[in-house]
Structure 1
């Protein structure tokens, strides 16, 4: 909160004139305070109490200028806010409360996690199930490829009795392998639908 003014040049000039012109009517204490303000290097400050004394003096003696004219180019002096030191007991208590809340939050998040179940059967059982499912997929794909290749080879070899040209033999082998491949895909899809449909 402001408790003083930062005085400007106009204040310095007028107060200097006032100190030179006045006789003994200026109170000694007010004179000393004003001289001390003028001697200070800039920025010099004028306290509110000194400003009140000066205003009273100017009014009582009937000077031709007023206090607000002296302070026209002055500004309020706002001291820097000094943050008070924190109470160490309060800081320690706040830390304990924070730690307690963090532990409660952690316990709430992990309340349905059972570490014994994970180490005993969770991870290894899950890994075994995943390996079995990957193994089944690999076997199915390998079976599909072998069946299609075998159908192509059989029809290519068997078509030599029907066709003499290689082009006709390859076309007939591709057609036979495609039919067998589509049949395999149909059976595979039906099997997968059955497995997925099981509860």
Structure 2
């Protein structure tokens, strides 16, 4: 990725996060819209979709994402690809950053009838959205930088976007996060990934 494009992506992602942060801090517009989305999805829950979303969410817990990241890094080291292994450090770094941001904003979790998940931590931004964006974003970046086939490059990009959106949807559907939380999480993860792409070459 060219430096100009890379830093444009970083700038846009940070702008989205800052906008959401301001809306959350200064007014009720974000809270009202987030609540409408949460109530809309809650009213349309079905048993099979709830089970599927619980599976997706559980599969992307912090410890699992970190474990798979370590395995990928070890594989790249085995293949003498030190740059890729080093770039994957952005995954735990981004997750730590997310913990710090949660404590800065201290947004409570959604409160819904018959909750499918019970969490005591803060809501903004979504840790699952950050982690999935970091993990799948880095995997996609490594493929794009090492594969020349247009078909495989397109497939990698589509798969990464699909998985990130699926994880983000699962968190809102389950009532673990508001829509604004997952969008902010994707923005944070995107900024981190774009910021280290130069080192992943």
Bigger Rg, which one: 1
Q: Which of structures 1 and 2 has the larger relative contact order (alpha carbons within 8 angstroms, sep 6+)?
A: 2
Q: TM range, normalised to the smaller chain?
A: under 0.3
Q: TM-score, normalised by structure 2?
A: 0.25
- Specify which structure has the higher proportion of helix: 2
- Specify which structure has the higher proportion of strand: 1
